[in-house]
Structure 1
């Protein structure tokens, strides 16, 4: 198994078919790849299914968006905490404990919804549910640094991680919508949770993952901020936040548009449309990303995505909305790929799992904000207002990333300087 310590280096971002093949057939990769697929299949399903479930029972999108946002905030908290622990002691014990807690919290949430508990109770339970959700994605992403050396194969592995997640975003919302339409609206939440627990447990118990032994000399000296100690990593997190905010608004507004049109069950299927174009364009983008420099790629992709989101406010029919979603979706996977690849350039050695946890945290905080505000806008002004607010929020954060772009450009030099610093000096330099 390949161990890499020291400063991460800039490598080619191209991902050929041969590189994909080399990554997925690497020794020790098969078990974690298959089980992580099962664990991540319901990632996009559980949150949306929870939103649909609460809305179906309570009749309120505002209440449903708050509960769903609570779960997303929980994911944001849990991803960093689990990531830091995984970097220190390995993923097996962390994922097994998280799976047990997650099972308990899902059961409690279902009971609360079925018994008509107050919204704040359901929201708190959603927070606990999200916090305990086993973070297989960050562990899976970090595992590639141990299986593959820096180079095209590793970059292909990161592209595979982003593309596979988008496939789940295709399946997840559609399945959530279908399951919600069944006689019991909680079917999607329950089945998604079972799938996630089984997959996470299987991933944690594979031989490759059980052999994960963190090295003390592998982790850089960092303070309480951990992977966020570097300015470049904070810029990546802001880009991920903007990505999450724009999507969060849309994830509530699209189902609401379907409901307003009298076709509630189509809400999840409509959300799947933009994931189809995301995967198709993502495969092409991975072979020749644009723009090339990472420090330009982050703000340009977020800004372009935000501009495209304005198209969603134009259609007056669900068919038109589906076409607009297909166009907008082209820039989803490229952003996910870029966030993952950027970690190579801005995260301190030995903090890869936590760094990816911060990306997940930023995205989920953005989703939580977008969903909670979108629910209020939809009920007060209708879905078009939420689409326009989504675009405006994304453009504001894209501007912030543009102003901070040099922190990503100079990320490798910052880490080279930090390698010889003490923990206190790293924290001071990061500020």
Structure 2
């Protein structure tokens, strides 16, 4: 199914949607900015990408766990109260993290505080996505709403780190972290107190297991797609600033990541009108593998010491980002068990953040050992590997009846 611009407009202007749309945008914007801002903050203070990658990875692992746990609570109790509690805990945890970095406490302590802070970072992507089931009817408008969620989330995943890189160049390198925390808390509280969110009630569940939504084979497949996406993006997010730092122009990393987001959004809107491959179960392996190929092209450009070719390859790779995140959201609509929409999307966010954590950590080590362009080799190889596995598992997300 394809969507038009009119469907996008009708979805975001649906009755009751204005306040949740605006506040969720504010609250979701730092979803990737926080971990990346923390990475740059710690790197500036410690002088080591390896140390910074470990702290950022701790934060991302916390987000990965928290997205599922919070999603399950919101599915069972409603989103408003859960979001208000975790927003408060997140503000406290982030304050402790800044204090730990500034006082230069032992690395394990900083990682532990980062882990807790990530754990209580409000799971806004899942909460925001689940609300559309109540705001718009099924069909093109709901698909447009999910595409909007995917496109906007992708913008935040790519533009957020760019903004973080720019703020890290200010006199205090923790500025990006502080801005990310403030936006998260303000947006989350505003979203939680909006009328449609306060009026949300849990849907009857089809049955709970210890593993929840991830017990479905289709959910495991789409989580794997999110993992591959995160691995590639995480590696690039380390490699690009490392290249810029090596050139003596740290600001260039933020500028390139911001340009990446522009390409992603433009191609994402056009792709939604004429998606290819049209079948979702074929789309995922093709897009992940193609993403890996283009990031490998970035590695080759780095080996050739050509910044122009690297930028061209990077922008081309950016064109495959939003189509992947849109596909994630659409497949969740198909395979998620009834009454577990927030948790199901939380598993996708978990997979992406775990992938980003591993990608950043591996890329940080590779950059230290083999130079900046090695990060792109790491990410590209991961994309190809995950794409191959998705092709083997493609039948698990083919033709599953919708339970939404």
2:155 aligned with 1:157, yes or no? no
Match of 1:145 in 2: 133
- Structure 1 residues 108-150: Cα deviation after superposition (integer angstroms, max 9, x where no partner): 0100111111222111111111111011111110111111221
Match of 2:311 in 1: 322
Superposition misfits of 4+ residues, deviation over 6 angstroms: none
2:231 aligned with 1:245, yes or no? yes
Count of equivalent residues: 401
Give the alignment partner of residue 23 of structure 1, picking from 5, 8, 11.
11
Match of 2:270 in 1: 284
Q: How does 1:43-82 map to 2 (within 5 A)?
A: 43-82=31-70
The alpha carbon displacement at 1:410 in A equals 4.2
Give the distance between the partners of 2:258 and 2:157, measured in 1 at CA.
7
The alpha carbon displacement at 1:155 in A equals 0.3
2:208 aligned with 1:222, yes or no? yes
Match of 1:409 in 2: 398
- Structure 1 residues 265-288: Cα deviation after superposition (integer angstroms, max 9, x where no partner): 222222222211111100000111
Match of 1:359 in 2: 348
Normalising by the residue count of structure 2, what TM-score does the alignment of the two structures yield?
0.96
Moved more, 261-270 or 76-85: 261-270
Q: How does 1:153-192 map to 2 (within 5 A)?
A: 153-192=141-180
Give the distance between the partners of 2:300 and 2:292, measured in 1 at CA.
14
Give the distance between the partners of 1:396 and 1:186, measured in 2 at CA.
36
Match of 1:369 in 2: 358
CA contact (8 A) 1:278 1:330 kept: yes
Give the distance between the partners of 2:364 and 2:269, measured in 1 at CA.
33
Give the distance between the partners of 1:19 and 1:181, measured in 2 at CA.
40
Match of 1:428 in 2: none
CA contact (8 A) 1:102 1:133 kept: yes
Give the distance between the partners of 1:166 and 1:335, measured in 2 at CA.
9
Give the distance between the partners of 2:276 and 2:354, measured in 1 at CA.
27
Task: Structure 2: state its 5+ residue gaps.
Answer: none
Match of 1:294 in 2: 280
Match of 1:205 in 2: 193
The alpha carbon displacement at 1:319 in A equals 4.1
2:220 aligned with 1:234, yes or no? yes
Give the alignment partner of residue 273 of structure 1, picking from 259, 267, 291.
259
Give the distance between the partners of 1:170 and 1:345, measured in 2 at CA.
26
CA contact (8 A) 1:134 1:200 kept: yes
C-alpha RMSD of matched pairs (Å) = 1.4
Task: Structure 1: state its 5+ residue gaps.
Answer: 1-11, 417-431
